Structure 1
């Protein structure tokens, strides 16, 4: 039984819909006032987002078609963890290599967030990758179409400020790095 008076009691849980990458979960819950109701949310494995710096200080960026918003989205490499990942750094290294063809000399954790915890159980782990060099071809998933480029960090920051980069993961990574990343 929950101990905090704000906590909801989960009475039952079922997966209402499942597809590659995520589930939609339906829970029967009892609210603190005793009301019984349903709550639906998106459930997915933890993800990693990489802010990759090349040796010259430019950021390795991607442009990717995003069907949900019907446009090309400019941003950073992001991907889900997989059961065979040894740790989060291994997942970040894999996603960087698969999406960009680049490998990093060093990865450092930046921050971990729950980007939409009102509607999803998603956890996103951010890393800063340094010394990124192109070492191989991209190894894209069947549903990915990605173009890779590099850009100065300040230009990326300006695009976030101007609102031309709208991907929330990229906005958060660039903003957090700008505020706290060099400490």
Structure 2
């Protein structure tokens, strides 16, 4: 099937900021109320959450198991199965260095190799948060260094089993779903289609 583009350019879709008001300035999130000019010249308001960004990493052992975490997430009041992840210390922080830091802090593992799996926006309708995703290989186990307010369990699960769990709707976390499926294609567990 041939791809068809119905618009002349991306520029014809762009909204332009007219004004911006900081509503809440938190430790992690910053909420803005912006006025924008729409492509048709009309005005509108946007509620926008600004975030420094984050990294996530799917560590795979030599025998094909993923190093996974179970942790309680207050906003959804559930314990979730996730991959190691964390926010950047600043927008200028090196993404690979941040991924290595989070991997070691949360799981105790160090990676010989980090393979970029891409970037995604977890909530682009209302947030500028960007998450950089990595696959970690050549793992060496060490000591965890959890933050005082961090409580999580680590477990090893075969990548093939995780693909099944994602497809069965048993892994509701978006970053974890994306990383598992991308890593499964990269590792030959799941075939990519043309």
With normalisation by structure 2, the TM-score equals: 0.85
Partner of 1:11: 18
Give the stretch that moved more between structures: 42-51 or 83-92: 83-92
Identify if the C-alpha distance between structure 1 residues 177 and 114 changes in structure 2 by more than 3 Å, giving closer, same or farther.
same
Give 1:156's aligned residue: 162
Cα distance, 1:118 vs structure 2: 1.2
Corresponding residue to 2:182 among 160, 169, 176: 176
CA distance in structure 2 between the aligned counterparts of 1:96 and 1:24, rounded to whole angstroms: 29
The answer to whether the aligner puts 1:116 opposite 2:129 as a matched pair is no
Quote the residue 2:7 is aligned against: none
Contact 1:55 1:133 in 2 (8 A): no
Matches within 5 A, 1:1-183: 4-83=11-90, 86-136=93-143, 138-180=144-186
Report the CA distance shift for 1:86/1:9 in structure 2 as closer, same or farther (over 3 A): closer
* Pair 1:134–1:43, CA change in 2 (3 A): same
Secondary structure of 1:150's counterpart equals: strand
User: Per-residue CA shift, 1:60-112, capped at 9, x if unaligned?
Assistant: 00001001111100010011111397511100000101111111111111111
How many residues align? The count is: 180
- Structure 1 residue runs of 4 or more that deviate by more than 6 Å after TM superposition: none
Give the alignment's Cα RMSD to 1 decimal.
1.9
User: Within 2, Cα distance between the matches of 1:79 and 1:158?
Assistant: 25
Change (3 A) 1:161 1:141: same
| 1:106 counterpart SS class | strand
1:180 Cα deviation from its structure 2 partner = 4.4
CA distance in 1, matches of 2:36, 2:42: 8
Gaps of 5+ in 1: none
